[in-house]
Amino acid sequence: MLLRSMDIARAFFFQKMRLVNEPFSSLMRYRDMDAKDLLIEELQAQLQSNQMLLKSKDEHLSRALAKLDEVSTQHVAVTEQFSKELEEKKHLIALLEQKIKRLLSSVRGSRQERINPDQLLLFSTEELQQVARELEDSAAEPQATQDQPVEEACSESKANTSKPKRRSLPNDLPREVRRYELTEDQRKCPCCGELRCEMGVETSQQVEYIPAVFKIIEHQRVQYACKKCQENVSIAPKPSQPIEKGVPGPGLCAYVVLSKFGDHLPLYREEDLFSRMGWLIRRSTICGWLYELGLLVEPLVMRMKHLILQSKVLHTDDTKIKMLDSGICREAKFWPYQGDWLHPYVVFDFTLDRSRNGPMNFLASYQGYLQADAYSGFDCVYTSGLVQEVACWVHARRYWYDARDYDSKRANTALGYIARLSQIESQLRSSYPLKNQQGERDFEAIAKARQQYAIPILDEFKQWLETELHGGRILPKSLIRSAFNYTLNQWDALCRYTEAGYLSFDNNAAERMVKYPAIGRKNYLFVGNQRAGRNAANFYSLVTSAKLNGVEPFAWLKNILQELPGYRDSEALKQTMAGKPVTCQELDSMLPDRWLMNHPECRWEIDSLRREERRRKEVRHRDLRNRQKRK
């Protein structure tokens, strides 16, 4: 209580001290106040001071909270940024791992894109067996006309899986008989000493190799003159030669062309071969020969180009080749264009780059179907509406195959759909085999079967694609998204093969033609200039067209190089030099398919044998698959 009184007195004292500087009215007010009022006033002042202090602390706390919110927001943004960068890094790592895996597979792995077992979940065995039975029933009449039905081929393939037999040696080869006899002492009988008589001959055959040899042909042109008047001198004409005033004959020219563009030998290896044969021919000399021969055969190649542009469908692709240009190598392109069964030729085009000008110039007058990959350079050809795009299911399948490790479920599902479509095509090849080597088949029946069996699968496939793309979570730059985008963007072109039986499920025909310059560039590496590239395209056109039609290339090349010099003043050459299509028919007898009709003995036997082996292998695989399904 005493302390309380002292506090009140102290407060009263300080209060009086503050009143010294206040006005008189305030002093009068404090005079009437007692100790209690002064305490209330003091408490109010202290409360006001505390409120001001609290307000300042609230402001400080607000600033601290605002700064904390700012730091938290910045932290969230940084976290999101790092999460996004982490996802991008993971995606980049996945892409790089995929590229590394693809590179390793291309170097030392299998090139075959085998079906994953997960895809078998989409196969309906009963459905595929029903399709096979219906196709076999619908093709029963055409099969009856074939020399060898599929059942016989299956039994024949089984018989051929046994131990291989040695082929009999041809009778038309030169034959040398070497007779081995015993000496007179060896013929004496060990029992009685009499000479033993000949009772038979045991014969065995062996094939020996005699290296090729050069032969010099001496052309003697006899001159005639009148003995009486000593005038009117005449000389017997000499046949035109492939190279005017040149040393090589047609056979040597054909060998040089075929060795480089058919057997993929660079010129320095031909130089080695010639030196072993007894005559050294330098590669610079062979280059000069190839230049002259390229100009000689160009009218025939341009005639083939005019004919394939009349095809109902063309297959095309491109491959790179290096070209020397001012001391450096630039990347040029070969473009093969393969015609249909009525125009069974392949013409290669050479361009300095991969721009759209190459296809646009080559296909300027073409109307029909063009089967190629999804290269955007062909879009200018499709814009006219005269050329219809046909895409390749093998290219589409490759996108899904590459995405297996990224999204195995979706990738294997899509691969299953494509496998079902491929199974139908395999059955169609069995039910409607080729009628000739040019590729003619029962196109009407094939188109009808595709409409009946392939289109329902395509509709189901597209519905699945759209459902998964719009309903599922697919990253924009992922491999599986690329597969979805490629397939849907090319969908109309991918389904167009069902419109006609002569269209193909894939573009493997052009891929096989690309193989020839692709193998060649690994050996001879580059072409010397633009003219050399055009000449190489001409030679590839001749060699691949001969092989496509089953013509023995050397015999055909030798014959046309012997005949073409007589057409140096022809209309075909004039049209070629003027850059116009070769419409005249004077060179048609030299086309490989027509030439083979007049020279059936020059059929390419090894090619026929390989085709038969591939057919039997396909029959064996198909028969094996059918047995596995029945189990």
Q: Are residues 350 and 405 in the same domain?
A: no
Query: Is residue 326 domain-shared with residue 344, that is, in the same domain?
Result: yes
3-class secondary-structure state, position 171: coil
Instruction: Quote the tokens at residue 225.
Output: 């003159």
The token pair that represents 18 in the structure block? 């503050």
The answer to whether residue 316 is domain-embedded is yes
Residue 6 has pLDDT above 60, yes or no: no
Please indicate, yes or no, if residue 270 is contained in any of the structural domains. yes
Give the pLDDT mean for 561-580: 93
| pLDDT digits 0-9 by tens, 289-322 | 999 999 999 999 999 999 999 999 999 999 999 9
Q: How would residue 119 be classed by pLDDT, with cut points 50, 70 and 90?
A: very low
| Contact criterion met (CB below 8 Å) for 264 and 523 | yes
Whole-number pLDDT of residue 227: 83
Token duo for residue 560 = 């046309």
Residue 3 confidence class, pLDDT cut points 50, 70, 90: very low
Asked whether residue 492 is domain-assigned, the answer is yes
Has residue 222 been placed in a domain?
no
As a whole number of angstroms, the distance between CA 219 and CA 235 comes to 12
Token pair for 566: 């007589």
Tokens of 308: 């394939």
Residues 360 and 407 in one domain: no
> Average pLDDT, stretch 276-290?
92
**Residue 29: both structure tokens together:** 């007010």
Mean local confidence (pLDDT), 72-91? 85
In this structure, are 76 and 48 located in the same domain? yes
How many folded domains does the chain comprise?
Answer: 3
Residue 139 has pLDDT above 60, yes or no: no
pLDDT confidence of residue 288:
94
Residues spanned by the domain of 82? 2-98
Question: Are 258 and 367 part of one and the same domain?
Answer: yes
pLDDT value, residue 592: 96
Per-residue confidence band for 120, with pLDDT thresholds at 50, 70 and 90: very low
C-alpha 310, offset from chain centre = 25
pLDDT at 521 over 80: yes
Residues 417 and 451 in one domain: yes
Compute the average pLDDT of residues 150-173: 58
Give pLDDT, residue 81. Answer: 86
| pLDDT at residue 128 is higher than 70 | no
Task: Give a yes or no: residue 605 inside a domain.
Answer: no
| Residue 496 Cα distances to 234, 371, 491, 499, angstroms | 66, 10, 9, 6
**% of the chain residues with pLDDT over 70:** 84
Q: For the segment 170-226, what is each residue's pLDDT rounded down to a tens digit?
A: 787 888 999 999 888 888 888 888 888 888 899 988 888 888 889 999 999 998 888
Per-residue pLDDT, 108: 65
pLDDT in tens, 455-490: 999 999 999 999 998 876 787 778 889 999 999 999
Same domain, 259 and 345: yes
User: Residue 520 in contact with residue 348, Cβ under 8 Å?
Assistant: no
Tell me, yes or no, whether 366 and 449 share the same domain: no
Q: In the structure encoding, which two tokens stand for residue 336, read together?
A: 């093969």
Q: What is the mean pLDDT of the chain?
A: 84
Query: Which tens digit of pLDDT belongs to each residue from 48-71?
Result: 888 888 888 888 888 888 888 888
Our measurement of the distance from residue 236's CA atom to the centroid of its chain's CA atoms, rounded to an integer in Å, reads 55
User: Pick the residue with more confidence: 1 or 439?
Assistant: 439
Query: Is the model's pLDDT at 358 over the cut of 90?
Result: yes
Mean pLDDT of 489-514: 95
* 29 pLDDT above the threshold of 70: no
Q: What is the pLDDT of residues 213-229, one digit of tens each?
A: 899 999 999 988 888 88
Find the helix or strand (DSSP H, E) in which 469 lies: helix 455-471
Question: Could you report the per-residue pLDDT of 573-582, keeping only the tens digit for each?
Answer: 999 999 999 9
Q: Higher model confidence: residue 41 or residue 490?
A: 490
Whole-number Cα distances in Å, 491 to 316, 463, 501: 19, 12, 19
The answer to whether position 238 is within a domain reads no
- Do 480 and 454 fall into the same domain? yes
Asked whether residue 320 falls in the same domain as residue 397, the answer is no
Q: Are residues 382 and 256 in the same domain?
A: yes
If asked whether residues 88 and 135 sit together in one domain, one would say no
Query: Rounded to the nearest 5 degrees, what angle is found at the Cα of 245, between the Cα atoms of 244 and 247?
Result: 105
Q: What share of the chain is helix, strand, coil (3-state, %, to 5)?
A: 60, 5, 30
What is the predicted pLDDT for the residue at 171?
81
pLDDT at 156: 46
Give the end of a domain, one of 506, 524, 556: 506
**What is the distance between the alpha carbons of residues 542 and 261, in angstroms, rounded to a whole number?**
9
454 close to 421: Cβ distance less than 8 angstroms = yes
Residue 132 lies in a domain: yes
Please indicate whether residue 107 or residue 223 has the higher confidence score (pLDDT).
223
pLDDT level of residue 114 (50, 70, 90 thresholds): low
pLDDT at residue 428 in the model:
92
Which of the listed residues 482, 506, 530 is the one where a domain comes to its end? 506
DSSP 376-412: GGGHHHHTTSSEEEE--HHHHHHHHHHTTTT-HHHHH
The reply to whether 372 falls in a domain is: yes
